[in-house]
C-alpha cells in the first residue's frame, strides 16, 4: 500500500489534516467546535465522525492516590438517522453496553500516559456525530481522544494511535467494515505506538497465538504513521502543557522524601517477616497483616514525635510502597507473596449441577477467586432485541456478570451493574460465543449469569471457566470446553522496559505500577478472546509473545482440570428446560399460520397449551412447550394449516356448505374442496342433502387439483375399513353410510 502525503491547511483557527489508512482517508480537524474545552477535535473515517473534547478542573482533588480520569462515549441516534423505538421515550437515556465498552476501550488506551501525580479531574467526552453503518466509531474515538489530549494544555505523555485488524480468508484487513468483520476469524482492536502496545481487545475463532502476534506486527507501521501525524499536529497547534501541576514545592518534596525514607527503613525491618510469611495464604490474612503493619508504623512515627499530618501521608504511601516491594521481590528473587513460582496457578476446583432446580450450573474456584455460573434456556421469542446507534436486531446468547461487594469483603449499596461488570460480562460473552451452536442446530435462547462469590484476581477469566462448565451441564452442545487465565507483568521502565518478569494467575498485590492485566481465553486449539491493559508505556512484541506462550500452558492445565469433572456437553438438555420443535413451512403460508391480527396462531397456543410459536421470515417455525403432548398437537395443527394437499390423500373433512351441484368439505384448516354430486355415491344422487349435512365429518379422497389450485374430492372413492359402504356396495339408502366422526373433532388426515 503506497503512503499518501499528509495534507494540511489552515483557515483562521481551523485546521485540516488528512492521511490515508487502509482504503479510506483519516481526516482530523481542529478549531471548529468546542472552543472552551482544553482540547477538541473531530476525527472522520469513512462517513463516521467523532467529536472529542477534553477538560480539566482548575483545582486538584485532594486526598486521592490515583488520576481522576473519566471517559464518556456518547452515542447519538441522529448520527445513524434513527429515532428511538420506544413510544414514550425518544431521547437517549442510559448508554447501551456497546457504548460502555468503547468508553472502557479508550480509557485503557490513554490512562497509562497520565502522570500519577496529577490530581486535577479530567474528563474526555467522545460524541458520535455521524455514523455510516460501516465503520465502527471506536477506533476514531481512540485517535480523537489522543489528538484532543495532545493539543490541550493537560499534562499527558502521548500521543498514541488506534487501529483494528481482521483476518478474512487468511488475508489481513485494516479497519474492516462490519460486514468484513462478520466474515473474519480474528477481530482485534489495538492501541499504542510503533513497537509499543498499550491496549488489546479482540475475539477470534480459536486463533493460534502466532496469528495474534502477526496481527500486532502488521498493525505497528500504521500505528506509527498515525502517531507521527498527531505529533505533527501537536507541534503545529498544541498548547503548552501545564507541567507546574506535577511539580512539588521544594519544601513538600523534601518532606515527602523524608517520609519515604522512613517507610523504606520500616519495611526493610518488618515486611519480610509479615508479608512473605508462607502461612498467609489468603487475601484477608495479607490485608490484616498490612493493617497490623500500618498500625505499627503509626506507633513508631508517633513515638518519634512525627506530626499527625505527616503520619497520615506516611500511611497513604504505605500501600503503594508495599506493592513496590512485592514487585521488587518478584523481579529480583522470583518470590511471590503466596510462595508460588512465576508460572504456577493457584489450586483449582470445579463442580457442576450444584443447583437443584436450574437448567445448568457450574462452580469454578482458583485460589480465593470463586464464580458460580447458571444457564437458563428459553424460547426463541426470548431473544434480546437491540435498537442502538450501531445495531438493530436480535441477540440469542447473553452472558451477564455480577460482582457483589461481599465478594471482596466490603459493604456497598446494591445498584445496577457498573462499567466494570458490563465490560467483564461482554468479555466472557466474546470468549464463549465462537463455541455456541447455531440457532438451526440448537434453537434455544441462552442466558448465562456469572455470580462472583469471592474475588482475588481475575474473576472474569474464572467466569469463562464456570460458564463453560454450566453450559455443558445444561446440555448446550458447545464444541469444546473454554478456559481463561490472567497474566501479569513486573517490570522496570524508564524510556523503555529494561527488565521484566511475566507471572501467571495475577492476584491482589501483584497488580502494581509497571504491570499489566492480560486476560486470555480459549480452547485447547486456540484463543477466542483477549483483553490487555497495562500500567506501562507499552509492551514490546517479545513480552506479548512470551505472555501468550505462558498463558497457553496455563490454559491447558485448567482445561485438564475441568475435563476431570465434565469433558463434553450432556446429550440431553435438563428435563426442566422447555421443549422446542422446529418445522419448515412455505414462506407464502406464513399468513395462514398467523392469521389476521395473530388470531390463528393465538388460537393454537390457547387450545394446545404451548408456550410460544415463533415464525421466521424464511418459513422456520419454532414451537416451545413444557409438555410433549401439547407440543405434538401444536406441530400437527401448524402442519395441517400450511401443508400442501396431494392427489390420492384421504381426509376426515367437515361439510361447510351444500349447493345444488355438490358439497364443500374443509379437509384442513382454511382449505376446502368440492365433492361434486356425482362423487357422493356409486349411483345417481338426486339431492346432496340426501347424503350429507352441514357440520358432518365425512371421509373424502382427493381425486384432482386443477391449475388454479382448486381441490376436487370424492366421497365414494374413500374406502373406510369396516364401513357398510364399500366398492360396489348398494347400502347408500341408509341414513349414515359412513362411520362419521362427531362435529368439532380435530381435522387430520384419515388413516
Give the Cα separation of 544 and 186 in Å (integer): 17
Give the Cα separation of 638 and 346 in Å (integer): 55
Give the Cα separation of 594 and 742 in Å (integer): 27
Q: What are phi and psi of 241, to 5 degrees?
A: -70, 145
Q: What residues contact residue 284 under an 8 Å CB cut-off, 6+ apart?
A: 409
- pLDDT tens digits for 513-566? 888 999 999 999 999 999 999 999 999 999 999 999 999 999 999 999 999 999
**Cell output for 286:** 495479607
Q: What are phi and psi of 402, to 5 degrees?
A: -120, 135
**Cell output for 60:** 486538584
**pLDDT over 90 percentage in the chain:** 59
CB 337 within 8 A of CB 290: no
| CA separation, residue 58 to residues 115, 210, 365, 725 (Å) | 17, 48, 46, 102
CB 480 within 8 A of CB 471: no
Identity of the highest mean pLDDT range in 246-250, 639-643, 731-735: 639-643
Return the pLDDT at 263. 76
Exposure letters 272-296 (e unless 16+ CB within 10 A, then b): eebbbeeebeebeebeebbeebeee
Reported for 379-383, long-range contacts at CB under 8 A and 24+ positions apart, including other chains, are 379/444, 379/445, 379/578, 379/580, 379/611, 379/612, 379/614, 379/622, 379/624, 380/439, 380/443, 380/444, 380/445, 380/580, 380/612, 380/614, 380/622, 380/624, 381/445, 381/612, 381/614, 381/624, 382/445, 383/445
| CA separation, residue 589 to residues 201, 621, 635, 642, 670 (Å) | 45, 11, 15, 6, 11
Cis peptide preceding 159, ω within 30 of 0: yes
Return the pLDDT at 476. 96
Is residue 558 classed exposed, middle or buried when 0-12, 13-18 and 19+ CB atoms within 10 A define those classes? buried
Mean per-residue pLDDT for 2-25? Answer: 74
- pLDDT tens digits for 86-137? 788 888 888 899 999 999 999 999 999 999 889 899 999 999 999 999 999 9
Mean per-residue pLDDT for 693-715? Answer: 90
Looking at 396-504, which runs of residues are DSSP E strands?
397-402, 445-454, 483-493, 497-504
Of the chain, the end-to-end C-alpha distance in Å amounts to 71
Q: Which of 147-161, 246-260, 413-427 has the lowest mean pLDDT?
A: 246-260
Give the Cα separation of 219 and 538 in Å (integer): 14
**Cell output for 632:** 405434538
The label of the residue with cell 504456577 reads 344
pTM of the model: 0.85
Return the pLDDT at 280. 65
Q: Report DSSP state, residue 506.
A: -
CB 488 within 8 A of CB 515: yes
Residue 735 has pLDDT above 90, yes or no: no
**Cell output for 525:** 486449539
pLDDT-derived band at 744, boundaries 50, 70, 90: very low
Exposure letters 436-449 (e unless 16+ CB within 10 A, then b): bbebeebbbbbbbb
Residue 161 has pLDDT above 90, yes or no: yes
Return the pLDDT at 747. 41
Q: What residues contact residue 197 under an 8 Å CB cut-off, 6+ apart?
A: 190, 191, 216, 532, 538, 539, 540, 541, 544
**Cell output for 247:** 511539580
CB 180 within 8 A of CB 168: yes
Give the Cα separation of 623 and 584 in Å (integer): 11
Q: Which of 252-266, 522-536, 643-657, 693-707 has the lowest mean pLDDT?
A: 252-266
pLDDT-derived band at 29, boundaries 50, 70, 90: very high
Phi-psi region of 741 (alpha: psi -120 to 50; beta: other; left: phi over 0): beta
Residue 738 has pLDDT above 50, yes or no: no
Q: State the Cα torsion 447-452-453-458 to the nearest 10°.
A: 140
Amino acid at each position: 500500500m503506497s503512503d499518501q502525503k499528509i495534507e494540511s491547511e489552515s483557515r483562521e483557527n481551523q485546521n485540516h489534516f488528512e492521511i490515508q489508512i487502509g482504503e479510506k482517508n483519516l481526516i482530523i480537524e481542529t478549531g471548529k467546535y468546542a472552543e472552551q474545552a482544553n482540547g477538541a477535535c473531530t476525527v472522520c473515517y469513512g462517513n463516521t465522525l467523532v467529536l472529542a473534547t477534553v477538560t480539566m478542573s482548575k483545582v486538584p482533588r485532594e486526598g486521592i492516590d490515583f488520576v481522576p480520569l473519566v471517559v464518556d462515549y456518547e452515542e447519538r441516534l441522529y448520527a445513524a438517522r434513527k429515532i428511538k423505538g420506544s413510544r414514550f421515550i425518544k431521547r437517549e437515556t442510559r448508554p447501551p453496553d456497546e457504548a460502555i465498552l468503547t468508553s472502557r476501550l479508550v480509557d485503557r488506551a490513554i490512562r497509562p500516559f497520565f502522570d500519577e501525580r496529577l490530581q486535577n479531574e479530567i474528563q474526555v467526552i467522545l460524541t458520535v456525530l455521524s455514523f455510516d453503518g460501516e465503520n465502527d466509531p471506536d477506533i476514531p474515538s481512540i485517535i480523537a481522544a489522543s489528538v484532543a489530549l495532545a493539543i490541550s494544555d493537560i499534562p499527558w505523555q502521548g500521543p498514541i494511535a488506534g487501529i483494528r485488524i481482521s483476518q478474512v480468508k487468511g488475508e489481513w484487513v485494516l479497519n474492516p467494515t462490519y460486514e468484513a468483520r462478520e466474515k473474519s476469524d480474528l477481530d482485534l482492536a489495538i492501541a499504542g505506538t510503533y513497537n509499543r502496545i498499550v491496549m488489546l481487545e479482540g475475539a477470534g475463532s480459536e486463533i493460534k497465538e502466532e496469528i495474534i502476534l502477526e496481527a500486532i506486527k502488521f498493525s505497528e507501521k500504521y500505528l506509527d504513521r498515525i502517531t507521527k501525524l498527531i505529533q505533527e499536529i501537536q507541534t503545529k497547534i498544541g498548547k503548552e502543557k501545564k507541567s507546574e501541576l506535577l511539580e512539588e514545592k521544594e519544601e513538600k518534596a523534601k518532606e515527602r522524601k523524608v517520609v519515604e525514607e522512613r517507610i523504606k527503613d520500616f519495611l526493610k525491618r518488618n515486611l519480610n517477616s509479615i508479608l512473605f510469611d508462607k502461612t498467609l495464604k489468603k487475601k484477608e490474612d495479607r490485608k490484616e497483616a498490612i493493617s497490623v503493619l500500618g498500625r505499627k508504623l503509626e506507633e513508631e512515627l508517633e513515638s518519634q514525635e512525627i506530626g499527625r499530618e505527616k503520619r497520615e501521608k506516611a500511611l497513604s504511601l504505605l500501600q503503594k510502597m508495599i506493592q513496590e516491594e512485592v514487585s521488587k521481590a518478584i523481579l529480583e528473587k522470583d518470590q511471590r507473596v503466596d510462595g508460588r513460582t512465576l508460572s504456577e496457578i493457584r489450586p483449582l476446583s470445579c463442580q457442576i449441577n450444584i443447583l437443584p432446580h436450574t437448567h445448568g450450573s457450574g462452580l469454578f474456584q482458583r485460589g480465593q477467586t470463586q464464580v458460580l455460573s447458571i444457564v437458563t434456556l428459553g424460547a426463541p421469542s426470548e431473544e434480546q432485541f437491540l435498537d442502538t446507534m450501531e445495531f438493530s436486531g436480535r441477540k440469542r446468547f447473553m452472558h451477564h456478570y455480577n460482582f457483589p461487594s461481599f465478594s471482596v469483603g466490603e459493604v456497598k449499596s446494591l445498584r445496577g451493574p457498573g462499567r466494570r461488570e458490563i465490560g467483564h460480562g461482554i468479555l466472557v460473552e466474546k470468549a464463549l460465543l465462537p463455541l455456541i451452536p447455531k440457532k438451526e442446530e440448537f434453537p434455544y435462547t441462552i442466558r448465562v449469569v456469572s455470580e462472583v462469590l469471592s474475588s482475588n484476581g481475575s474473576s472474569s477469566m474464572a467466569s469463562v471457566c464456570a460458564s463453560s462448565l454450566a453450559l455443558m451441564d445444561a446440555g448446550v452442545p458447545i464444541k469444546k470446553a473454554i478456559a481463561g487465565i490472567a497474566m501479569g507483568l513486573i517490570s522496570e521502565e524508564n524510556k523503555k522496559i529494561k527488565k521484566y518478569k511475566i507471572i501467571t494467575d495475577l492476584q491482589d498485590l501483584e497488580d502494581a505500577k509497571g504491570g499489566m492485566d492480560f486476560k486470555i481465553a480459549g480452547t485447547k486449539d486456540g484463543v477466542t478472546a483477549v483483553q490487555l491493559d497495562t500500567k506501562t508505556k507499552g509492551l514490546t512484541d517479545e513480552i506479548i509473545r512470551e505472555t501468550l506462550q505462558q498463558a497457553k500452558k496455563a490454559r491447558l492445565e485448567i482445561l485438564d482440570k475441568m475435563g476431570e469433572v465434565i469433558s463434553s456437553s450432556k446429550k440431553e438438555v435438563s428435563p426442566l428446560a422447555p421443549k422446542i420443535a422446529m418445522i419448515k413451512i412455505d414462506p407464502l403460508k406464513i399468513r395462514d399460520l398467523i392469521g389476521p391480527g395473530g388470531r390463528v396462531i393465538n388460537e393454537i397456543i390457547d387450545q394446545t397449551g404451548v408456550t410460544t410459536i415463533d415464525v421466521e421470515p424464511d418459513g422456520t417455525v419454532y414451537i416451545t412447550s413444557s409438555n410433549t403432548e401439547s407440543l405434538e398437537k401444536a406441530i400437527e395443527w401448524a402442519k395441517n394449516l400450511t401443508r400442501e394437499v396431494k392427489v390420492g390423500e384421504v381426509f376426515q373433512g367437515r361439510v361447510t356448505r351444500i349447493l345444488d351441484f355438490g358439497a364443500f368439505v374443509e379437509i384442513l384448516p382454511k382449505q376446502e374442496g368440492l365433492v361434486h354430486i356425482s362423487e357422493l355415491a356409486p349411483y345417481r344422487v338426486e339431492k346432496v342433502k340426501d347424503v350429507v349435512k352441514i357440520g358432518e365429518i365425512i371421509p373424502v379422497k382427493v381425486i384432482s387439483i386443477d391449475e388454479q389450485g382448486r381441490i376436487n374430492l370424492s366421497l365414494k372413492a374413500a374406502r373406510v375399513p369396516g364401513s357398510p359402504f364399500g366398492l360396489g356396495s348398494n347400502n347408500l339408502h341408509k341414513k349414515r353410510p359412513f362411520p362419521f366422526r362427531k362435529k368439532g373433532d380435530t381435522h387430520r388426515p384419515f388413516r
